[in-house]
Chains A and B, each alone.
Chain A
């Protein structure tokens, strides 16, 4: 009997092929567009988070207590090298870097700006977060008075490759010191703090400049595979301020949440369209065939089998639309992942907020599984009202009406 019900459902789904195909096309187009938008939103957020993670705090960051409030060299981690060696040997830790930061004033002959100097080991930074990939202009060269500068800071001070600057700050003894630097490269990390205010030099040079010991650091950043590691590190290094990426970058968390809200709204709108589309086609289809259902009831077909047939019909329409949407959506997502959307005409505004001018999408299996569940649910819900009409149907009225 079930094979008969499935057969009737399939044939009835295409009783009016133009009407059904219109709804299928509507689901296909709206679903593939929704997948594309989801992929782009998530791609924007993930790209920004990834770059912030790679250029900044990693997954976990260590500071000395009070450093994040005072930003003073006296709150540096004095045994940072030893901690780094311990961390490197820990299971789940992929990479560790030490950084030394000094806040100060960066000046050219005409302009100056508050900024900070960050001492880094370029070899380790490349292993940690592929720092060289952030290069926008020039080269990554940090030795012997050479420096690399953040894009927005360079724009602010009108600096170019080869420009000379002076950075002044207080050293570890409290004395004001200055160093002359030559800009060799301009980087864009999309980490607003770095792009707006950082000038990078070699970590050995900054130790010499500030008078700190080579084992000291203001920050230890860790990339790890184990999400549970932070708890163990917080316990082990209780004397330090151990923070996760999202604790240090609440903006990123907020951005993730905003993207989730955007995606949810888009999802809700598209599912409403799917619901209304299937509801419309099923409602009209059932009204068209009300006599047929009345006769079936009259012949002794139980309501539960008619209900099953209608559910299957709605599912066929939803599933075909889903398959179309999934295929076109996947093609769109692959295109967006590989080629992205070029928003170069808005690049200034986008870069100011830490976005790249070319936005690449991302692809997640969850897009397809969630949409599948939602479309099936929308299909099933959309026939509840039409089914109530059949439930109330009196076969005699239908038979009489045909006389």
Chain B
């Protein structure tokens, strides 16, 4: 489903402070996987996640999402790809503050042109799964951090993307909320069959996933299934 071939990424290329952020990375992530990109801070996890998520370009190599080579797409096509194929969960939740929980969950679906009825049905379904169905009319700033992150997950899941990219989703949560969130994401992965790729060094996530890819200084040093 996702295939990386000899991916290289540099920061400050050609300058004395050049950093080789991703070194010749090649890997494949199949549909329905529940995977973690792991490694110490600055090892390149987020850079790799952003490259896979068509948020950032690479300097050489190829990234395929099914048959589409992401590097060959222009900015507009990348935006469309993100909208139609990918879901994102960020560390800081990043909900739209003026929209209610219900509207936030349905945000991507609405951008994709789903009907009002489809959006309503799906929002209720996902909200129930993530146990935020009693908060649908609330504004994000009235929710706890854990609830906000569940809304962000619901938003990512609602439009049924091929893969969800979650960058440090538990970093702002306490261990209890982190555990709840991971259980829910695992359930979503199993029930909906959506691939989820985390970038994190959280032990809790490491124990929840079924595959761990470890990076160090931009080099893939380990890839094992649990």
Contact = CB atoms under 8 A, between A and B. Distances in A.
Interface in B59-86: 76, 79-84, 86
Contact of B94 (A300, A302, A402): A402
Nearest to A399: B90
Given A292-B96, A402-B91, A300 B50 contact: no
A295 interface: yes
A319 B45 CA distance: 48
A403 B83 CA distance: 23
Contacts of B97: 15, 292
Contacts, number: 73
Interface in A300-342: 300-303, 305
B121 to A, nearest CB: 17
B168 A300 contact: no
Interface string B165-185: 001100100000000000000
A299 B83 contact: yes
A295 B83 contact: no
A129 to B, nearest CB: 62
A403 B92 contact: yes
B163 to A, nearest CB: 13
Given A292-B96, A396-B50, A299 B107 contact: yes
A12 interface: yes
Interface residues of A, number: 25
Contacts of A300: 79-84, 86, 108, 111
A353 to B, nearest CB: 57
B77 to A, nearest CB: 11
B226 interface: no
A19 to B, nearest CB: 15
A255 B209 CA distance: 84
Contacts of A299: 82-83, 88, 107-108, 111, 155
A399 B111 contact: no
A305 to B, nearest CB: 8
Interface of A: 1, 4, 7-8, 11-12, 15, 291-292, 295-303, 305, 395-396, 399-400, 402-403
6 contacts: A298-B88, A300-B80, A300-B108, A302-B79, A399-B92, A403-B91
